[in-house]
Amino acid sequence: MPNYSNKKTTHVTEKVSTASNRGMNFEHAVTSSFDYYLNQKKCLILKRPTPIHVVRVDYSNNARIKDAYFEKQSTADFNGVYQGKYIDFECKETKSKTSLPFHNIFKHQIKHLKNVIYFGGIAFFLIHFVTMGEVYLLDAEFLINEIETSNRKSIPYETIKSKGILIEQGFIPRLKILDAIDKVYFDEKTKTHC
């Protein structure tokens, strides 16, 4: 079982639901893994800031924001560079033991990741099965094709297990995501790119 205990403790996360807190912990595990990779000079992959529309700032109080709202996200969670290639991915998690429901994956995320693929970038999903404590890397092109062509409302756990790559877990990095990226996109595919 993964230990995603190093959760953010802003006032915001304290107020949101348990499910969202789990989401934060998974995201935090991903973020901290890429912090490690950056320190090890392996790659530069960062979480995108949440877009916020600022309405009012109190300039008499050190530019404190006093009115703002969350804008609609138009991208995926993380992006960056590894071996010169552009990488972009979205984190998803589910309590289900049998499948990842498609309603978890938003239209803007599909549109964005399709664009990434079109422009030659690497796009995938990291899928956390909370109950089993397993995280998989699944190629975005494959998953989007399933969403757009199957009549199902979810993708079975067994399909993710067979078509994705199980991410090895450890102390540091907590998720060995780069090993999975190497396996899927660099060990095989790049040989045919040049």
Reference 134, options 101, 109, 158; nearest CA is 158
- Site for a copy of itself contains 19 (CB under 8 A): no
The 3-state DSSP class for residue 119 equals coil
H/E stretch holding 91 reads: strand 85-94
22-30, 41-49, 165-173, 174-182 -> range binding a copy of itself (CB under 8 A): 41-49
Among 3, 67, 172, 188, binds a copy of itself (CB under 8 A): 67
Among 4, 28, 78, 88, binds a copy of itself (CB under 8 A): 88
Reference 44, options 89, 91, 92, 83; nearest CA is 83
CB of 2 to a copy of itself, least distance (A): 26
Report DSSP letters for 138-149, one per residue: EEHHHHHHHHHH
Give residue 123's Cα distance to chain centre: 10
Please give the size of the binding site for a copy of itself, defined by CB under 8 A: 51
HSE (side-chain half, CA atoms, 13 Å) at 10: 5
- Site for a copy of itself contains 17 (CB under 8 A): no
- For a copy of itself, the closer CB: 78 or 129: 78
Residue at token pair 């230990």: 3
- Site for a copy of itself contains 184 (CB under 8 A): no
- Site for a copy of itself contains 9 (CB under 8 A): no
Which residues of the chain form contacts with a copy of itself (CB under 8 A)?
A: 10-12, 15, 38, 41, 43-44, 46, 48-57, 59, 62-71, 74-75, 79-88, 112, 115-116, 118-121, 193-194
